[in-house]
Amino acid sequence: MLCDNCKKNQATYHSIKKINGVTTERHLCYECHLKQAEKESDFNGIGELFSGFKNLFGLPTHRNVARCGVCGTTADEFLETGFVGCPHCYEELSGVIMPVVSKVQSDTRHTGKSPNGKKGNAAAEEYEELRRQLDLAIESERYEDASVIRDKMRTLRGISNE
Amino acid sequence: MNKALNNIIISSRIRLARNIDGLPFPEKVSADKAALIPRDVYAALSGVDTYTIYRMNEISETDGNVLKEKHLISEDLLRNKDTGAAIINESETVSILINEEDHVREQCILPGFALKEAFTAINAVDDAIAKKVRFAYGEKLGYLTACPTNLGTGMRASAMMFLPGLSIYNSLQACVNAISRLNMTIRGVYGEGSDSVGYIYQVSNQKTLGVSERQIIDAVETSVGHIAEAELKARDSLKTSGGDELKDKIMRAYGILTNAYKIDSKEFMQLMALVNLGAYYGYIKLSDREQFLKLITNAQPANIASLSNKDLNGDERDVFRAKYVSKVLSTITKK
């Protein structure tokens, strides 16, 4: 299995975590694992406790002047209020907003209803079923099965399995 | 368990957050454009049910608070005097909040444990509106909302629960910890923070993205079921350890509520909680639970003021409340 990060070296570090019912799997090579650990220890420093809202999301404290080209909302405004200005902000400011989304929702992909009244499509239903299987596999410590199921889920989400 | 659940789960609520495609969210949209939204949504619902539209700049303070105490509108909506509006059906089970945090917030509240039924009802309303109004939606993030905490389904499913046993035993914190692992949250409905006057709490999902509506309902139902089980155990244990003292406290509360000359809303809530517990233990016979729960809403400050049909000061209101509560309780309860 190749490293999730550099996609070049063989992954030697494997972790499956389940937090708040959400499973995250990570396969990294030695170098990327070291870099990741270094980065995480930076964010978990004591300073984080006292530097306000922005660091709640593990984001840098310098002013972020990125601006939504449609409604004019700035990245800083979002970080201060927690609100976006218009539907386009999610794309225009995705670099700032998406880490927050993934942190507060532990997910980045919608699987429910769409506006035409249809419930989730077939792929979404299949995804849900896989998620249930993954939970079961992790609970019964069948990590190899969990990894296979996770790959199927990634394929469904359009994420490469390399 | 069903009868016991009726004493624990007061009501079930589903809320869907939606926004109109092509418009900035309420905080950024121009007042001109925002002012058109109530009309469009109201038009989309014509023929579905009988709805009344309430504009926040037109209703009196008391009428606004009456709706708020009935949980049909929020404090935030009430504050938006410029463009805020609510569209409410005749039976007051469905209310659509316009120009609150999102352009459209559709909610259905039903008595008892009825999340699936509430979802079916609000889903139909959502479909009806979506036929006429184009919602902001993306394949990846689902319904796009002003706050990322509502993305995806835009759905919050919640149950209002009466939890005297767990509150008295200080076991709510353990419940909070347990359900937060399931991405659920619990908060007091009356009063601030976790100390809820009248032991009434709301349990709801936090996660809205990456889960389907069905999964959210399943998860909330499971959490509510666990809490209800724990509450029943706590009530059993409370009855055993409380003995005659507890029964005396309950009957005294009943005595005050049916005989007091004046009563404020906080004391009313505290005593009603004891009477409700007395009904569960069978110390007090309750013939109409629906009326009993309605009394909790009707005795809140704005509702009492509205029922009196007079301009009352605080003391006069407390006198009217005592008289009203005594009258209703005497009709629907006996020792």
Cβ distance A83 to B144 less than 8 Å, yes or no, reads no
Over residues B18-46, mean pLDDT: 95
Closest-approach residue (CA) in chain B for A18: B181
Return the pLDDT at B194: 47
Residue B59 Cα distances to A97, A118, B63, B137, B291, angstroms: 38, 37, 6, 32, 27
Complex ipTM, two decimals?
0.87
- Please check whether residue B263 is in contact with residue B322, taking contact to mean a CB–CB distance below 8 angstroms: yes
Cβ distance A85 to B136 less than 8 Å, yes or no, reads no
Picking from A39-43, A61-65, A80-84, B253-257, which range would have the lowest pLDDT averaged per residue?
A: A39-43
CA B35 – CA B46 distance, rounded (Å): 18
pLDDT at position A91 over 50: yes
Q: Is A110 on the interface with B (CB under 8 A)?
A: yes
Cβ distance A83 to B127 less than 8 Å, yes or no, reads no
Over residues A66-91, mean pLDDT: 93
Strand partners, B85: B55, B98
Cβ distance A104 to B149 less than 8 Å, yes or no, reads yes
Q: What is the value of pTM for the model shown?
A: 0.79
pLDDT per position as a tens digit, B219-275 = 999 999 999 999 999 999 999 999 999 999 999 999 999 999 999 999 999 999 999
Nearest CB to B181; choose among A21, A87, A107 = A21
Identity at B291, one-letter amino acid code = Q
- Average pLDDT of chain A? 74
Return the pLDDT at B206: 94
B239-277 per-residue burial string, b: 16 or more CB within 10 A, e: under 16:
beebeeebeeebbebbebbbebeebebebbbebbbbbbb
Confidence category of residue A55, pLDDT binned at 50, 70, 90: very low
Q: Residue ranges per domain, chain A?
A: 13-42, 49-104, 117-157
Nearest CB to B153; choose among A90, A101, A113 = A113
